[in-house]
Amino acid sequence: MRPVHIAARVIGLAANIEVYPENRLMQPASPQPRRGLEAFAFRNFRRYQLARGMAVLGSEAQAVAVAWQVYSITHRAIDLGFTGLALFLPGLIFLLPAGHVADRFDRRKVILICYALQLLATCALFLLAWRDTHSILSIYAVLFVIGMGRAFSSPANSAFIPHLVPEKHFVNAVTWGGAIFQLANITGPALGGLLFTLPLSRFASAARLEGAAIVYLFAIATLIWFLAWVGTLRVRTERLDHRAVSLKVLLAGFEYVRRARILLASFSLDLFVVLLGGAVALMPIFAHEILHQGPRGLGLLRAAPAAGAVTMSLVLARFPLRRRAGRWLFAGVSVFGAATVVFGLSHSLWLSLIALYIVGASDTISVIIRGSLLQLATPPAMRGRVSAVNSLFIGASNELGQFESGLTAQWWGAVRAVVIGGLGALTVAGLWSTVFPELRNVDELTAESLRKRIPQGKEILSDL
């Protein structure tokens, strides 16, 4: 059975539910859900993932349109890098208040407000494309607003997941969340490239509903879908942090991560590996100048890592990592770096797609392990602020990584930039394995096991 069919079936499962008064989580009708599908026995998890999958689908399609639109206007790699910078800067500027908001207010409402802001920004992108505006600064300004919405929604989203399933099923929820996210990543870029080049009727052409404008309309529809579905969730959060705003409260997430070395090692490993090894921002250059493909070829390149990620997520959902999680993490990072080097050297579309498929599959191993470490090793009252710190690292590795890729490609050329980045990722993996043995030696992914690896964990929490 194909992954898309499996995901469709599990999302469509129905279950009678009732609320646990003690932990405010949903109880499935069956006490023994099917192995590998435990998280889908919970109504709120199913609905949230269906909404999130559609939002990611639109976001990825939109990313293809923005990249192709910007590169078509300027034909400069550095301008592709600036798109990533425009998305990253809000995460840096609003990092501290975003984490505090996620810990103090209703996380579902925070998510709804942030996605409503992104909806308005996407409408602005549509108007710019519809009017055939060639102002790069206007596009960057809208991307900054989108980045601001993501800055506040990211920690709230991350801290929201434990409200949807019991702790014992959390790793399964993270795995399936990654699978659905990557399934949307498969179809989103390909769909974006298809919509960008779709031959439309004479009426649509006369109304200038073509190219990027059509893609942005699709993204608007997916955001409306997200808001409608998340608005139906029946979730009650546990007691949140109601302390008055102070510098100590705002910085508590940083302080906890600093003292919890397994989290510091995990976050920084992702930062430097993806910062060096990320090649997403340069895909328009590889598609156009090296592989001689158009927007559809770019869509295939963007979809290949997601296809590998979905495959690995399905495997890990059925056969979860029960022991030696730290060693699996470093193995995945090493394969990621090696496959990035192969992609950079390839002049064949098929070899490039295979290399990117392996990049996505290997990265998924570390994504699942790091996501589980983040939530299971963090006390509930701190999850928003710690997730905000993680969002900073992720934003730096993704959006700032796009800027770094564009800059190095401008200096050295796209091929050298990707190859050197892949070799750098391999170097970081070896170095971190030596410097942070506590991360390398992580065994079971359970809250009890992980919090034992944080010396004086209760004292740290009381200090904060």
* Coil, helix or strand at residue 239: coil
Checking if the pLDDT of 193 tops 90, the result is: no
The predicted-structure confidence for 174-184, as pLDDT tens digits, reads as follows 888 878 887 78
CA distance 165 to 40: 9
CA distance 438 to 389: 20
The chain-wide mean pLDDT, for the chain, equals: 78
Higher pLDDT, 119 or 88: 119
| Residue 18 β-bridge partners | 27
Enumerate the domain spans of the chain: 3-15+32-463
pTM recorded for the entire structure: 0.70
* Coil, helix or strand at residue 26: strand
Quick one: which of 104, 60, 90 has its CA closest to 151?
90
Checking if the pLDDT of 123 tops 90, the result is: yes
In order, the DSSP letters of 387-417 are HHHHHHHHHHHHHHHHHHHHHHHHHH-HHHH
* Coil, helix or strand at residue 18: strand
Write out the H or E segment, with its range, that includes residue 371. Answer: helix 349-376
pLDDT of res. 393: 76
Token reading at 124: 């602005």
Neighbour-count burial of 1, counting CB atoms closer than 10 A to its CB (0-12 exposed, 13-18 middle, 19+ buried): exposed
Contact residues for 80 (Cβ-Cβ < 8 A; gap 6+): 67, 70, 71, 281, 282, 284, 285, 402, 406
Checking if the pLDDT of 96 tops 90, the result is: no
Amino acid identity of 129?
A: A
The predicted-structure confidence for 1-37, as pLDDT tens digits, reads as follows 444 344 334 334 333 333 333 344 455 544 566 667 7
CA distance 302 to 323: 32
CA distance 298 to 71: 12
Write out the H or E segment, with its range, that includes residue 19. Answer: strand 18-19
Using alpha carbons, list the distances in angstroms from residue 88 to 80, 145, 397, 398: 13, 11, 9, 8
Quick one: which of 268, 285, 267, 265 has its CA closest to 405?
285
pLDDT of res. 14: 33
pLDDT of res. 4: 38
Token reading at 194: 């298809």
User: Does residue 259 contact residue 148 with C-beta atoms inside 8 Å?
Assistant: no
Neighbour-count burial of 317, counting CB atoms closer than 10 A to its CB (0-12 exposed, 13-18 middle, 19+ buried): buried
Mean pLDDT of 202-218: 69
Q: Which of the listed ranges 93-97, 238-242, 361-365, 371-375 does the model predict with the highest average pLDDT?
A: 361-365
* Cα first-last separation, the chain: 49
Mean pLDDT of 440-462: 69
| CATH, domain 3-15+32-463, list 3.10.129.10, 3.40.50.970, 1.20.1250.20, 3.40.50.300 | 1.20.1250.20
CA distance 348 to 346: 6
The predicted-structure confidence for 233-279, as pLDDT tens digits, reads as follows 877 665 555 565 666 767 778 888 888 888 888 888 888 887 776 66
Assign 136 a pLDDT band (cuts: 50, 70, 90). Answer: confident
